[in-house]
Every structure is written in structure tokens, then in C-alpha cells.
Amino acid sequence: MRVEDLRNYGKGLLDSEPDPKMIEREGNIRSIVRQELERELGQTSTMELMSIVKEETKHMKTQDWSILKKRGLSDKRFIESVIKRIALMKALSDIVGVEKASAIQCRLVEKTIWELMSPMWPSVDEYKSCGNFFEAFREYSKATMTANVRAGLHDMEIVEDSPAALAYNIKYCVWHEVAKWFGNPYLCYPSTCYGDEVTIPRVLDKTGCRFKRAGTLAQGAPVCDFRYERIGEGFSPGR
């Protein structure tokens, strides 16, 4: 199989084709989120939280988002989805404090992100069917990030592209931009950035590769850095 034949090759978050069970999975995820919040906050406080999220989302949708449009992002539904995600973290932080809200949100990501996102991506075996897992993963990742940049979600700079590693820096991120408008750039870390740290190792750790990150924009770093490396005994760039 060629890398170009893998599902959603060259497509980003805006134009990837969802699998047929997407609606069912999203329903399952909403149930998980609701149950986790009720376990943490109780039923009454969870209802109040969701009401606040709804109002925050409604208010933020009226803001001037021309800064996003200048980057090329004009999909209103996608912008609203970003706003909703940050609004939940903001409302949760206002109720229980940032530290506890972050812990709750990270658990929600751990419980839901794989089910939500993994059907959009090739499996490890599908990457391997292209002949070399890391080479296929590297080329697929570059094509995905290029699509996200084209859609206005990110601004990216590749800092290493070799048989041993792919490393790139995200200098602009739409989730970070929206979080700043909510008054706290950190809000996008537990709700979005942390998902990278859950899903990427789940793929790479099975293949003699690893994911490394020094920091994110949300945490105050100058960039969100992504580094995928080949490791393991016997590796040489020619293999």
C-alpha cells in the first residue's frame, strides 16, 4: 500500500471523512463526559455548569473573530466547536479552580479522545503495510499538518525531517487563540493539547518510536513542539 492510499491522507481536521459510526461515538462520549462531571460535581452543579457553558458559548460566538478568518479559518461550525471546548474548561475553572478543573478535563480527555479521533487515522498495521512504519507515519503526519495550516488552524515550522526523526513547531494555534480571548491561554491545554500526549504515544510506543515535547503555547512556551523519533536497538538511518 502507498502512504497516499491511507485513509484521510492529506486531510486535516476540517476535511477528514468521519467514519459511519461517528454520530454513535459522539453520543457515547457525551454520556461519558456527563457521567464524569456528575461524579465530580453532582447532578445539580453539572446542570449549572452546562448552563454556564451554553451562555459563555453564545456570548463568545458574537465576538469579532476576524483574526481567525485572516488565518484562513471561516468554518463557523468548527469555530463554535473550539469555543465550546474552551468554554467548558473556563466554566469548570470558575467553579472548582484551575488546578482541579485541569485534572478533571485531563481525565475526560483520557476517557474519550481515543474513541473520538482514532477511527479517522490509519492503524499501526496500515502504516506498516506501506513498508516502513516510521517513514509512512512521517509522511502522513506532514501531509496532515500541511492541511491544518492551509485550513487556518495552525502555523507550522518543520525543524527536522529525516529517517530518524520528524520535528516541527506550532507557532500559532486556533485553540490557543480562542483561549486567549477567554482570558487565559492555559485553558486550551487540558482540553486540547493534552490529547496529543494521550493519543500519539499510544500509537508510537508500539512501534519502536517515541513522542517528545518540551512545552506548549498554552503553558507559556514559545511554540508547541512535536518530535517523533525512531529508537530501539539496531536502528540506523538506512533501515
Q: Is residue 43 part of a domain?
A: yes
Query: Band of the pLDDT at 27, cuts 50, 70, 90?
Result: confident
Q: Is residue 129 part of a domain?
A: yes
Residue 68's closest CA among 88, 58, 89, 82? 82
Give the residue carrying C-alpha cell 496500515.
Answer: 126
**From CA 30, how far away is CA 14, in angstroms rounded?**
21
* Coil, helix or strand at residue 217: helix
Q: Is residue 114 part of a domain?
A: yes
Contact 104, 37 (CB under 8 A): yes
Q: Is residue 90 part of a domain?
A: yes
Contact 138, 166 (CB under 8 A): yes
Whether the model pTM is above 0.75: yes
**From CA 233, how far away is CA 231, in angstroms rounded?**
7
Tens of pLDDT, residues 178-206 = 999 999 999 999 999 999 999 999 999 88
Q: Is residue 235 part of a domain?
A: no
Q: Is residue 237 part of a domain?
A: no
Mean pLDDT score of the chain: 92
Q: Which domain holds residue 30?
A: 3-230
Q: What is the CATH number of the domain that holds 102?
A: 3.90.1520
Q: What Cα–Cα distance (Å) separates residue 188 from each residue in 34, 128, 164, 185? A: 20, 33, 30, 6
Tens of pLDDT, residues 140-174 = 999 999 999 999 999 999 999 999 999 999 999 99
- Four-CA torsion 106, 107, 109, 111, nearest 10 degrees: 170
Q: Is residue 239 part of a domain?
A: no
Contact 19, 120 (CB under 8 A): yes
pLDDT at residue number 23: 78
Instruction: Report the amino acid identity of residue 119.
Output: P
Q: Give the number of domains in the chain.
A: 1
Q: Is residue 91 part of a domain?
A: yes
